[in-house]
Structure 1
């Protein structure tokens, strides 16, 4: 049985993971970490990582970028594999995670924990390679009105994946209200919509002459992200130090 420390356990995603984990074979939530401790959980919740005395095999983090420093210090000090699912990390935090932290412990990092989104990324990379130079590329992401970061980490991950595929790299253009000029050929437009209770919607538009190709993924529940995180916990436990992603998990499943 794999014992999980759930960071951000009393947040919306944390509570979804808590519920699903109770019927998830091979692991259990052994402890939680959250600055808010007024929610009842079937495991002990610590408001300080230093107080955590439970045996932990892997950490799932769905908290806040502000908790990043303390969390990676805790994980490295105790040599515990870390699944970083928090969105809105700075480029500096992401770089530290991918280079420095992954040298010491196993790190699972994905901008989106959904298997479907990662399939979308694979599809748009193939499309970009075939359509390069002939189609303009625009990314539109939609999320609920409580989401803080914009554009989403997933939208940026999609753009980065496309850019890595292209022979001629593109610059990212965020919205267009401040640009009084025509669209450049080497641009990827990225647009954020916030409203209501939209869980997550990502569309990649390839606009060519007289034809449009659109690849879309819509999440209708947070459960898909929770399931992805729990599967990542099963995958990561016992791994050697290094950087792992949803691509590695999918490859192991297949």
Structure 2
């Protein structure tokens, strides 16, 4: 039985994973962390990482906020247990820190826990490397509680295109004004916030007389919970190293 430590158990994803794990036979949540004092649920909840005994869990999953990164990195370094970092909005410096930590224990990091999103990225990479003369736009939609924009997934999509397309690329975030004629090298990213949209991403390749669209829509947060548990099962017996969803897809 895999014992999971849920970092951010009070958040929307933490609560979703808590419910999802109840449907699984090989994994339990042994404890969790919440920055909200007084928060409680069916397992022990800690408000201070220093109080957590590493022996109570096998793998940790983080769905919190990037402002807590330093505390979580320090906790991971002390425990030296496999950890899954699914928090969005991390800086390049934060990711570099995770890669450094992965020398001592296994670290899994992705900006989107959906298996389908990562398959979509593979399709986008192939399309980008085989296309020319097409204008490219990215549209992402999320619920009205999401704090970062554009989404981490939209940035993953943009960088996937940049790394595979055979032309210079310049990112533009939104479009406004009276003199905004498109430049050939532009990839424009549009962020929409509203309602309870779990996550929707579309890439538009607009060419002469035709349009190609590659889209992914998350219908509920359960898809991200399923991805997190898939990652936990994957990383639990892996050697020290830095892993992502492609590691699962290619395994």
TM-score (norm 1): 0.94
The equivalent of 1:36 in structure 2 is 36
Paired position in structure 2 for 1:176 = 175
Q: Partner of 1:182: helix, strand, or coil? A: coil
Equivalences for residues 132-143 of structure 1 within 5 A: 133-143=132-142
SS in 2 for 1:103: coil
Partner residue in 1 for 2:122: 122
Using the size of structure 2 for normalisation, the TM-score is 0.95
Mapping of 1:6-155 within 5 angstroms? Answer: 6-53=6-53, 54-97=55-98, 99-131=99-131, 133-155=132-154
| Mapped contact 2:39–2:45 kept (Cα < 8 A) | no
**CA-atom RMSD in angstroms:** 1.4
CA distance in structure 1 between the aligned counterparts of 2:103 and 2:179, rounded to whole angstroms: 46
Question: How far off is 1:178 after superposition?
Answer: 5.2
Q: How many angstroms apart in 2 are the aligned matches of 1:220 and 1:181?
A: 34
CA contact (8 A) 1:37 1:45 kept: no
1:82-134 deviations in Å (ceiling 9; x for gaps): 1000112223212322x322222211111110011111111111111111x31
Check whether the contact 1:83–1:232 (CA below 8 A) recurs between aligned residues. Answer: yes
Mapped partners of 1:181, 1:224: distance in 2: 37
SS across alignment from 1:100: helix
Q: How does 1:198-213 map to 2 (within 5 A)?
A: 198-213=197-212
- Tell me the matched-pair count: 250
Task: Give the direction of change, closer, same or farther, for the CA distance of 1:240–1:179 in structure 2 (3 Å limit).
Answer: farther
CA offset at residue 161 of structure 1? 1.1
Specify every segment of 5 or more residues in structure 1 that has no aligned partner in the other structure, as ranges: none
Q: Distance in 2 between matches of 1:213 and 1:47?
A: 48
In structure 2, the residue corresponding to 1:193 is in which secondary structure? strand
1:224-239 alignment runs, 5 A limit: 224-239=223-238
Question: Residue 156 of structure 1: SS of its match in structure 2?
Answer: helix
Query: CA shift at 1:58, angstroms?
Result: 0.9
What is the DSSP-based 3-state SS (H/G/I as helix, E as strand, rest coil) of the residue aligned with 1:142? Answer: strand
Report the Cα offset of residue 68 of structure 1.
0.8
CA distance in 2, matches of 1:83, 1:221: 20
* Aligned counterparts of 1:179 and 1:117: Cα–Cα separation in 2: 35
What is the match of residue 247 of structure 1? 246
Q: Hey, what's the Cα distance between the residues in 2 that align with 1:102 and 1:185?
A: 39
